Amino acid sequence: MIFHGRETGKLRLVGATGEPVAPPAPDDAPLLQVASLSKRFGEQVALDDVSFAVREGEVLGLIGPNGAGKTTLLEAMAGLIPADAGEVSWRNTTVAPARRREVMFYVPDGIRPYGDQHVARVLSFMAGVYGRTQDDTASAVARVGLHPVLAQRVAALSKGFHRRLMLALGMLAPHPLLLMDEPFDGLDLKQTRAMMTVLRGEAARGRTLLLSIHQLTGAERICDRFVLISAGKVRGAGTLGELRARVGAPEAGLEEVFLALA
C-alpha cells in the first residue's frame, strides 16, 4: 500500500545492545543514497546497477521514456518490491526496505485508493492518520484545486483530478522525502504549471522531492537536478549545466542532452 506510517522522518537505529544509535553524518552527506540497485523480472533486466544521490531540499527529476525502469526504481526504493542487489541509505545509514516508510512517502501513478469513498472523506481520513488540522487539509485542497470534486467518489474522478487528489495526499503526509511517479500525467499545460508551482512550494518548505517525469520540457522547469535513465541504466546525473558540459553542448536542452547520453 502507498500510505507509509506515521513517522516524521527521524530514523531510529538500534545497536547490538538494543539502545538507540544515531551516528553523526557529515554536513555534506546526501539525504538519500541509492547504491548499485538491480532488479530482474525473469530474463528482463529492469534495473542495472543503478546508483545516485538525493540532496536535502532539492527537486530531483528521474527522467526517461516509458519502460525505462523509473516506476520499478521508485517501488524498489520505497521497499514495495524487493531488489535483487544494492542498498538504500538515509543520511549515510543503510535502511532496510521495511524501514523506508518512516522517511519517504510514495505517490504512485495509475492507482486509485478508496475508489468507493468521496474525495472529502479520503482527505479527512489521511489528515487524521497524520495528525493534520482542518486548515492543513483546506490548504492542500486549495493549492491543487480540488474544490469542484470534493463530493465525488474517487472512482468517478477524471485522470486530471485524480492526479490532483494524489498530490494533495502527498502534501498531507509528513515524510521529509516525497517520491512521485509521473505527477503531471493527465494534466493540461495550465494545470501542469500550477502543480509545478505547488511542488516548488513544498520544496521551499523544506521537503525533498524525487519526481519521475517523461515530459522533458516540464522537467526542465521544475527540477534542480536530473537522473537520466534508459533501459534500466543511469546514463547521467547532475544539473542541466553539468549535463551540457558532459556532452559538450552548452546550449542544449534536456531532450538533446538525454539523446546524446542515452
Q: What is the pLDDT of residues 3-19, one digit of tens each?
A: 444 344 444 444 434 44
Whether 158 has a pLDDT exceeding 60, the answer reads yes
Considering only CA atoms, which of 12, 68, 9, 73 is closest in space to residue 39? 73
Looking at residue 20, what is its pLDDT? 44
Asked which of 140, 174, 208 is the last residue of a domain, the reply is: 174
154 pLDDT tier (thresholds 50, 70, 90): very high
C-alpha cell at 71: 516506476
Answer whether residue 4 is part of any domain. no
27 pLDDT tier (thresholds 50, 70, 90): low
**98 and 202 both lie in a single domain:** yes
In 10 A of CB 139, how many CB atoms?
15
Q: Rounded CA gap, 209 and 237, in Å?
A: 16
| Domain enclosing residue 52, as ranges | 13-103+175-261
211 alpha carbon, distance to own chain's centre: 5
214 pLDDT tier (thresholds 50, 70, 90): confident
Answer whether residue 6 is part of any domain. no
pTM: 0.85
**28 and 154 both lie in a single domain:** no
**168 and 183 both lie in a single domain:** no
Give phi and psi for 181, each to the nearest 5: -95, 110
**74 and 179 both lie in a single domain:** yes
Q: Which of 8-17, 190-199, 212-221, 251-260 has the lowest mean pLDDT?
A: 8-17
Looking at residue 26, what is its pLDDT? 46
Answer whether residue 159 is part of any domain. yes
- Cβ-based neighbours of 45, under 8 Å, separated by 6 or more: 38, 39, 231, 232
**135 and 247 both lie in a single domain:** no
**165 and 230 both lie in a single domain:** no
Condensed to tens digits (0 to 9), the pLDDT of residues 80-115 reads 999 999 999 999 999 999 999 999 999 998 777 788
Alpha-helix runs per DSSP H in the chain: 70-77, 119-129, 134-144, 159-172, 189-204, 216-222, 240-247, 254-261
Answer whether residue 62 is part of any domain. yes
